[in-house]
């Protein structure tokens, strides 16, 4: 679904991503994992054109990712994205947050309602809570709203940046199980960011381990465990045992 070729990104004096190449297959859940600051969010934002690489290129479904705003808008309709922390607008209700893009695209009201119903079933979200503002929702509910918003336009790809970050263990456990069920039911291409190895193994088909703006190793958890590419891989795995 995505092919990254020699992609790099710099912020001032900081090389956030060194030139890297990576393939993210269609229909699979790929998990970007690595220590805080290693470039996971930066990499994720390159996939929907929210940020542009300094070098290299990103192919999306066989085509170089568009650069003009109009064409990018079309890409973003096919690539749903939930920001780290959810990124909900605090002055809009849950329902308004979820339906924002559909309204912008002038979907008929009936179609919006119908889609909202489907998403509430999928994420097991109570209808009354959708009328609350993000500040009145629990952390888990906010993440579910962010997930619904990312899914609203029925995209081919779902980008989720730490969808389980900052949740208490029980809520996290429930949402984790729900996410896995949702990924299975939808069969979409998912790219998920986490720094938790157990979560990566539970939710992902494949793991992409990053460090200091580079991809260190990729494969299943078993691949990483049985054939760690270097000492960092071994340490990263052992630290989370």
Per CB under 6 A, 36 contacts ligand ADP: yes
Per CB under 6 A, 40 contacts ligand ADP: yes
Percentages helix, strand, coil for the chain (3-state, rounded to 5) are 45, 25, 30
Interacting residue with ligand ADP among 6, 25, 27, 37 (CB under 6 A): 37
| CA quadruple 195, 200, 203, 206: dihedral sign | positive
Nearer to Mg ion, 24 or 119 (CB): 24
| Phi, psi (rounded to 5 degrees) for 54 | -75, -40
**Ranges of H-type helices in 26-130:** 40-47, 69-78, 94-104, 109-123
Q: Judged by CB under 5 A, which stretch of 17-25, 39-47, 123-131, 137-145 contacts Mg ion?
A: 39-47
Per CB under 5 A, 41 contacts Mg ion: yes
Nearer to ligand ADP, 132 or 206 (CB): 206
Could you give the CA distance from residue 229 to residue 217 in angstroms, rounded to a whole number? 6
Per CB under 6 A, 39 contacts ligand ADP: yes
Q: Are strands 29-33 and 206-211 parallel, antiparallel or unpaired?
A: parallel
User: Do 98 and 145 form a contact (C-beta atoms < 8 A)?
Assistant: yes
Per CB under 6 A, 6 contacts ligand ADP: no
CA atoms within 13 A on the CB side of 215: 19
| Phi, psi (rounded to 5 degrees) for 48 | -115, 15
Q: Judged by CB under 5 A, which stretch of 53-61, 81-89, 171-179, 195-203 contacts Mg ion?
A: 81-89
Q: Judged by CB under 6 A, which stretch of 31-39, 60-68, 125-133, 219-227 contacts ligand ADP?
A: 31-39
Residue 123 touches which member of ligand ADP, Mg ion, none, C-beta under 5-8 Å by kind = none
The footprint of ligand ADP on residues 184-203 (CB under 6 A) is none
Per CB under 6 A, 41 contacts ligand ADP: yes
Residues at the contact surface with ligand ADP, assessed by CB under 6 A: 11, 14, 16, 36-42
């Amino acid at each position: 679904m995505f092919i990254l070729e020699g992609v790099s990104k710099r912020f001032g004096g900081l090389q956030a991503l060194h030139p890297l190449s990576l393939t993210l297959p269609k229909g699979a859940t790929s998990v970007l994992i690595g220590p805080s600051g290693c470039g996971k969010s930066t990499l994720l934002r390159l996939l929907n054109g929210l940020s542009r690489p300094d070098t290299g290129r990103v192919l999306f479904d066989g085509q170089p990712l568009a650069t003009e705003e109009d064409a990018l808008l079309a890409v973003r309709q096919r690539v749903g994205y939930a920001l780290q922390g959810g990124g909900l607008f605090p002055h809009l209700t849950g329902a308004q947050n979820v339906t924002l893009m559909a309204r912008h695209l002038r979907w008929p009201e009936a179609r919006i309602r119908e889609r909202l119903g489907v998403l509430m079933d999928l994420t097991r979200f109570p209808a009354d809570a959708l009328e609350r503002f993000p500040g009145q929702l629990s952390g888990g509910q906010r993440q579910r709203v962010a997930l619904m918003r990312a899914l609203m336009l029925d995209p081919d790809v779902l980008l989720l940046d730490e969808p389980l970050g900052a949740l208490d263990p029980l809520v996290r456990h429930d949402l984790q199980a729900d996410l896995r069920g949702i990924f299975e039911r939808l069969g979409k291409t998912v790219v998920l960011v986490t720094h938790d190895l157990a979560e990566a193994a539970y939710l992902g088909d494949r793991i992409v381990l990053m460090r200091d703006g580079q991809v260190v190793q990729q494969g299943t958890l078993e691949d990483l465990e049985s054939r760690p590419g270097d000492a960092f891989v071994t340490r990263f795995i052992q630290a989370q045992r």
